[in-house]
Structure 1
Amino acid sequence: MSIRHGLLALLAAGPRYGSRLRTDFEARTGGTWPLNIGQVYTTLGRLERDGMVAQSDVDAAGHTLYALTEAGRAELRAWYDRPVAPAAPPRDEPAIKLVMALGAVGVDVREVIETQRRHAARALHDHVRQRAEALARAPEHPEEMARLLVLERLVFQDEAEVRWLDHCEARLLRFTREEEPPGPEQPGA
């Protein structure tokens, strides 16, 4: 997740102070990715150092306001124009756990799969429920659209994990059946 670009996008609408950026970021992402206020100010400091934002004013409450510079606008346009392609696959703890369980003594790999599948199914159920709530609120609350899109992404990720676990279980069953020695021949066969 790019906090840097998220803050630039929020500043495109006009100057803001740090805690307002934090609140707006969390509202825009449906509260899915909470930000620490320290992350916000550290990122603002780097953006200011890189010439993408500048302190523009102080509001009536004494908050320092940050505004987007032309360099910041150019970076934001470039971010919107380029696809997001991770440099390397992220570490995936369920996958690591599963492959380590394959060679572990005394570990039932099928139970590891089933435990993870139950967890993923609960997450899926929760995200589907939240999505339904967001859908019901969306007509009267247009800001729910952002939350809805994030929740749909989470639903798709949960569904993919459940499908992957189903695939792993089926692969494991096929593999163990292929390793089993053939049973004794039946008389008259």
Structure 2
Amino acid sequence: MSIRHGLLALLSQGPRYGYQLRAEFEASTGSSWPLNIGQVYSTLSRLERDELVTRVGADDEGRFVYRITPAGEADVREWFATPVARADRPRDELAIKLAMAVTAPGVDARQVVQAQRTATLRTLQDLTRAKAAAPADPADRGDRAWRLVLESMIFQTEAEVRWLDHCEAFVVRTAPAAPRAGSPEARTEETTR
């Protein structure tokens, strides 16, 4: 998630202070990506250093107000126009866990898949309930943004369930056959115990 570009997009709508940016960012994403206020201010400092925003003073309560610069406007326009590169995605802990499970001795990869599927289906149910409780045709910009984020999470979770089904079938299909009783492999295995 690009916090930098998210903050720039909000600042392109008008000057704001840090807590306001955090609240609007979280409202736009349905609080699915909560921000630490320190993270907001450190990002604003880098944006100011890079001359993408400028501090325009303080409001009546002493909070620093930031405004986007022309360079910042150009940067956020480029961000909106550029597709997200999938090569830049973070490591997927679940894929790594399953890859390790199929190679680690003594680990039942099917059980790992089944435990994850149970948790993922529970998450999918929670997301589906949240969607059912949301307005069907949201008019508010924040509600519209949250709906898009929510539907993205639902689609990703559904895809994870399908992938887990595939993984289980793959694990079953490619599992090494257990040695038959009385075969040389079984006798060797019994001898080494």
Return the TM-score normalized by structure 2. 0.87
Aligned counterpart, 2:68: 68
1: CA distance between counterparts of 2:90 and 2:76?
24
Counterpart secondary structure, 1:143: helix
2: CA distance between counterparts of 1:10 and 1:130?
25
Residue by residue, what CA displacement relative to the aligned partner does 1:21-73 show, whole Å, maximum 9, x if unpaired?
A: 11111011111100000110000000000011001122111111100111111
2: CA distance between counterparts of 1:63 and 1:27?
20
Aligned counterpart, 1:84: 84
Pair 1:145 & 2:120 matched: no
| Comparing 98-107 and 151-160, the one that deviates more | 98-107
Q: Report the AA paired with residue 76 of structure 1.
A: V
Q: Report the AA paired with residue 128 of structure 1.
A: T
Residue by residue, what CA displacement relative to the aligned partner does 1:106-125 show, whole Å, maximum 9, x if unpaired?
A: 22111111000001101111
Residue by residue, what CA displacement relative to the aligned partner does 1:127-186 show, whole Å, maximum 9, x if unpaired?
A: 1111121234825x442111110010100111111101100111122223x84689xxxx
Q: Report the AA paired with residue 132 of structure 2.
A: A
Counterpart secondary structure, 1:87: helix
Q: How many residues are paired up?
A: 180
Aligned counterpart, 2:36: 36
Offset at 1:89? 4.5
CA contact (8 A) 1:137 1:144 kept: no
2: CA distance between counterparts of 1:107 and 1:87?
30
Counterpart secondary structure, 1:10: helix
- Structure 2 residues without counterparts, runs of 5 or longer: 181-193
Offset at 1:105? 2.4
Pair 1:157 & 2:159 matched: no
CA contact (8 A) 2:4 2:47 kept: yes
Return the TM-score normalized by structure 1. 0.88
CA contact (8 A) 2:102 2:171 kept: no
Aligned counterpart, 1:170: 169
Offset at 1:88? 4.1
Aligned counterpart, 1:105: 105
Offset at 1:104? 2.1
Aligned counterpart, 1:12: 12
Aligned counterpart, 1:132: 132
Residue by residue, what CA displacement relative to the aligned partner does 1:65-104 show, whole Å, maximum 9, x if unpaired?
A: 1001111111111111111103344311111111111122
| Comparing 80-89 and 13-22, the one that deviates more | 80-89
RMSD (CA atoms)? 1.9
Displaced runs of 4 or more, over 6 A: none
Change in Cα spacing, 1:160 to 1:146, as seen in structure 2 (3 Å) is same
Change in Cα spacing, 1:88 to 1:19, as seen in structure 2 (3 Å) is closer
1: CA distance between counterparts of 2:86 and 2:161?
23
- Structure 1 residues without counterparts, runs of 5 or longer: 183-189
Q: Report the AA paired with residue 69 of structure 1.
A: T
